[in-house]
Amino acid sequence: MTQSFRILKQIQALKERYCRLAVDKRALIKLLDETEVAEQVYNSNAIENSTLTLDETEKILMQIDLDRYINERELFGAKNLARVVAYINQKATEKELTLDNILFLHKMLISNIRDDIAGRFRNENEWVRVGTYMAPNPTEVLGLLKEMMVQYQTSDADNIIRRVAKLHLTFEHIHPFVDGNGRIGRVINNYALLRENYVPINIKFINRKEYYDAFQEFDQRGTTAIMQDIVGKALCQSFHKRLAYLEGKKIITLSEYAKQEKISHSNLLNKAKRQSIETFLEKGVWKIGV
């Protein structure tokens, strides 16, 4: 059994457990979604080279003064992305993922940062690059996005990992906006997942190298193996966290669990990273429900 197939079967089993428990516990799920907003904002912005720490991000969202000066771009970057994340958590199940909705999310994200480009795709002569990669000609953007949506809607509905990985990589390959492509691409992942009764994922800053490797793989070979691994493991973690709460388990750190069960912590850590045990990473700490 290949790693990707194992993860996919694992996710389907986790989804079944989650859906059975979620019916009568919507209030708890809403609370869990709300507690994750700051961490999602921190990780997504950090991938884009924001200098904000998780603690500073939390303070900004709670309107607590920081101990240092933060420029307006980073301030609105945190606040706006939090609004986008919250909006998707509330509305994704009600509205289909369309190009108009993507434009709406972008306007919400970029408002008060660059109003001249907020809520629109790249115009003629607005070329963008990421490192040495040059995004497609602006005149091709709309057509490529329409093709991306058709491919997503007609792809194998049973393999959510491959569908989301391909959607994300294709979107970032097109790079349809002047600014905000990465952050919008990552929230689109969650929009798509929530639409199909999965849970939102949080691509972590600590996995940035692997994340960038996934784009290089796609740009050079057109394959999605690395991104599938990232999405699959992130989905497992998200399900593991929610199930631990929904099943009323006690949440402890993995190091505490290792001491309690007299098991090698390094061995457990390796299993946690592979998601072969029901662990999740929260604020940089591996945890498990017991």
Separation of alpha carbons 37 and 240, rounded Å: 17
Whether the pTM exceeds 0.85: the reply is yes
- CB of 202 closer than 8 Å to CB of 234: yes
Q: Could you write out the DSSP letters of every residue in 147-211? A: HHHHHHHHS-TT-HHHHHHHHHHHHHHH--SSS-HHHHHHHHHHHHHHHTT-------GGGHHHH
Residue 241 has a pLDDT of: 98
199/96 Cα distance (integer angstroms): 16
Place of tokens 């602006």: 138
**Quick check: 175 and 181 in contact, CB under 8 A?**
yes
pLDDT at residue 1, as a whole number: 46
From first to last of its 290 residues, what are the pLDDT tens digits of the chain? 467 778 999 999 999 999 999 998 999 999 999 999 999 999 999 999 999 999 999 999 999 999 999 999 999 999 999 999 999 999 999 999 999 999 999 999 999 999 999 999 999 999 999 888 999 999 999 999 999 999 999 987 789 999 999 999 999 999 999 999 999 999 999 999 999 999 999 999 999 999 999 999 999 999 999 999 999 999 999 999 999 999 999 999 999 999 999 999 999 999 999 999 999 999 999 999 99
**Pick from 50, 35, 23: which is nearest to 241 by CA?**
35
State how beta strands 279-282 and 285-289 pair.
Answer: antiparallel
Q: Identify the DSSP state of 113.
A: T
Token pair belonging to 151: 């491919």
pLDDT of residue 274: 94
Task: Give the pLDDT of residue 6.
Answer: 87
The two three-digit tokens of residue 5, written as one number: 């197939």
Angle between helix 26-47 and 225-246 (nearest 10): 140
pLDDT at 2: 67
For residues 272 and 279, the answer to whether their CB atoms sit within 8 Å is yes
Nearest Cα neighbor of 148 from 133, 118, 126, 168 is 168
